[in-house]
Structure 1
């Protein structure tokens, strides 16, 4: 799936996105709790880059926990970014946020960040060298000691374990009021349009993008998350 197709898909889903995934909130809540512990040693005035911020879940969580932090929110889908902006206004944290509609190249080149988040984004980049370059672009925008928290769907799709995890994952989506048609589209997308790779392979791609050996700090079903320090 090309960038413009992915953007169009999220444009269409923006209005119902949060409601659609509401029943999977416990996964996000656990990820955010652990994210907070991973970022606990950042400065009180840390500047955070949120790549592919979507409707802003991780940004709003971090902003609520750290009143001195400021945020740069980058998202190619205008409708998704509009919802993110609205949520930050409702949460009283919009004054600490700058919003960029587009990709990483829409950021001012002089900005350097203490940390970055990138949740369920790189999985849509199917070519490994392009995925590595994506992480390189994030690394280039971090301070020398900056850290990245990233997550992606990951598994060895050729293994028996993947079938077990995929079946459970699809069952969870069905229980979360996702339509059977959407579940079937999801199954096909994982096979054709999403770069679901073994966790060790994802970690090696992150490392090749300019980070020290990533440490996996979270797994829930197919979602894996890593903390990486700029090399």
Structure 2
């Protein structure tokens, strides 16, 4: 959860992210299994929004040999990290990487599914962001999304943050790293209440919005692209 994604320290992301986020590996395992039961075709082209780091690509690439992926991310360094991890796992040939925003994707909606894990809270205009992802998907395509959510001005948010701090420190995360993360909320990340995320998904053309994961302030949902007409 480093805020400067082009800083050289992003290469430590792989080593620390699992110590910061409770049930990190379970989140991606659940995403993989739920996505697999929704995609009945053996061959599928999946859009990975925020592909830097490579966790989604590794998880899905290892388990689904017939799937191909388009991974997009604004950080060149994070994409390099993803490439290195995929090369070590032997799945790099399945992936096309794009450095840039989702607006850089083509206009044709052809992806059979999409993931956007731990990205949405960094986006200011969440409605336009989700709509652009929806525009890239075929009707019936599933979207998996996870983000930090809540009202930073509400007391329950503060309770969750205090407990999350204890979790991170107990896992060896330095106090200064926690302080940087806490200070980034409202300046580099922009969480909104979970119910607002669900509303935005529906407004962007998604149906069957279902929460499948929750840990402290992180929630995960899957939804399905509705009728394109």
* TM norm structure 2: 0.90
What is the rounded CA distance, in whole Å, between the counterparts of 2:32 and 2:117 in structure 1? 14
Kept in 1, the 8 Å contact 2:75–2:99? The answer is: yes
Given the alignment, which residue of 158, 180, 188 partners 1:185?
180
Kept in 2, the 8 Å contact 1:59–1:71? The answer is: yes
Kept in 1, the 8 Å contact 2:19–2:173? The answer is: no
Q: CA deviation at 1:25?
A: 6.8
Which string of whole-angstrom CA distances, capped at 9 and with x for unpartnered residues, describes residues 156-193 of structure 1? 33443222211111112223333222211211212443
Structure 2: 5+ residue runs without aligned partners?
A: none
Secondary structure of the residue aligned to 1:11 is coil
Secondary structure of the residue aligned to 1:113 is coil
Structure 1: 5+ residue runs without aligned partners?
A: 1-5
Secondary structure of the residue aligned to 1:218 is strand
Which string of whole-angstrom CA distances, capped at 9 and with x for unpartnered residues, describes residues 59-84 of structure 1? 11011111111111101100110110
Q: How does 1:75-94 map to 2 (within 5 A)?
A: 75-94=73-92
More helix by share: 1
Mapped pair 1:166 → 2:161 = yes
Q: CA deviation at 1:227?
A: 0.5
Match of 1:52 in 2: 50
Q: CA deviation at 1:218?
A: 0.5
Q: How does 1:22-101 map to 2 (within 5 A)?
A: 22-24=18-20, 27-41=23-37, 42=39, 43-101=41-99
Runs of at least 4 residues of structure 1 off by over 4 A? none
Q: 1:25 to 1:205 in 2, by over 3 A?
A: closer
* TM norm structure 1: 0.89
Given the alignment, which residue of 134, 147, 171 partners 1:176?
171
